[in-house]
Structure 1
């Protein structure tokens, strides 16, 4: 059926949606028609490993969003900006010992590791601080699955940690202000403590 030209934009959208739905496989059961249509439109996608970190995370929305960008590897670190032809200082502003990259900033940087180790100590998980960062993310994902209090707090701590490191990096670059690892760890712990109680 052709869509009339004089139809409003809303009618045209409905008619286009009708064509899309008609192309979907036939609905088998009458009880869950909407669910079957939704799943048909959604398509088959693999579940991401870090999905457990995102859902039911009680961290601040800006922290969860920053963590989502970090999980996608899309943080605008110096190495990415350089690839785009933007002239930036390639050194890590947190430790000044290596070039800034996604992996370095959140895992290999001595400053970031110091913050993470303090947070794990606060959680009484000191034995996990010796795990390499590539395995640490997997460890956090595994530990944060489920609805236990420990899983909820670890999800929140991880999101606030990512945000805290990113914020400190930006403060050092754009505002020329800096704090030490202890101050950042205390701020993250305080935020998580307040949000866990409320």
Structure 2
């Protein structure tokens, strides 16, 4: 039996259980993104709800999307770690695991929690845009992340 990379870290993070479960689903590729819904005939296109520039897959939405990367850049720039931002071709698990290895041991659990909370807020913003027609800016999403943490 092989273990999913990051599975243990998800459950050790200091985040609400619903956020941990959401991220666990993301690690397994089980989020109902536009790509997933289109594949099941539930919508006509698979464009990213946040940037409308690429196919909305879990990896794209939570790591590679321009909107998501701007949120990460704003957040990490405050603490001088903007060099840890995901790139435009990052996969969620690979970026998270490689980046957490660069974070000092004493801060890893906090970083894991941050990854989960940022992903959760990005997902909620995507849902606001998809289902409510309500858009927030990266700065507003960052403010929500700060409030949650």
**How much does 1:137 deviate?**
2.3
Q: Which residue of 2 is the match for residue 82 of structure 1? A: 38
Which one of the candidate residues 124, 131, 145 is aligned to 1:188? 145
Instruction: Report the TM-score, using the length of structure 1 for normalisation.
Output: 0.66
Q: What whole-Å deviation, never above 9, does each CA across 1:139-198 have from its counterpart, x for those lacking one?
A: 24535795x2x1121111100111111100111111111110011112212322xxxxxx
Unaligned stretches of 5+ residues in structure 1: 1-44, 193-198
* 1:145–1:128 distance in 2 versus 1, CA, 3 Å: closer
Unaligned stretches of 5+ residues in structure 2: none
User: Would you say how many aligned residue pairs link Structure 1 and Structure 2?
Assistant: 146
Aligned-pair RMSD on alpha carbons? 2.1
Q: Which residue of 2 is the match for residue 171 of structure 1? A: 128
Larger Rg: 1
Q: Which residue of 2 is the match for residue 92 of structure 1? A: 48
8 Å Cα contact 1:119-1:157 kept in structure 2: no
Which one of the candidate residues 16, 23, 26 is aligned to 1:60? 16
Distance 1:130 1:85 in 2: 31
Q: Which residue of 2 is the match for residue 69 of structure 1? A: 25
Q: Is 1:160 aligned with 2:117?
A: yes
Please identify, of 95-104 and 137-146, the stretch whose mean Cα deviation from structure 2 is larger: 137-146
Relative contact order higher in (CA < 8 Å, ≥ 6 apart): 2
8 Å Cα contact 1:53-1:144 kept in structure 2: no
Instruction: Report the TM-score, using the length of structure 2 for normalisation.
Output: 0.85
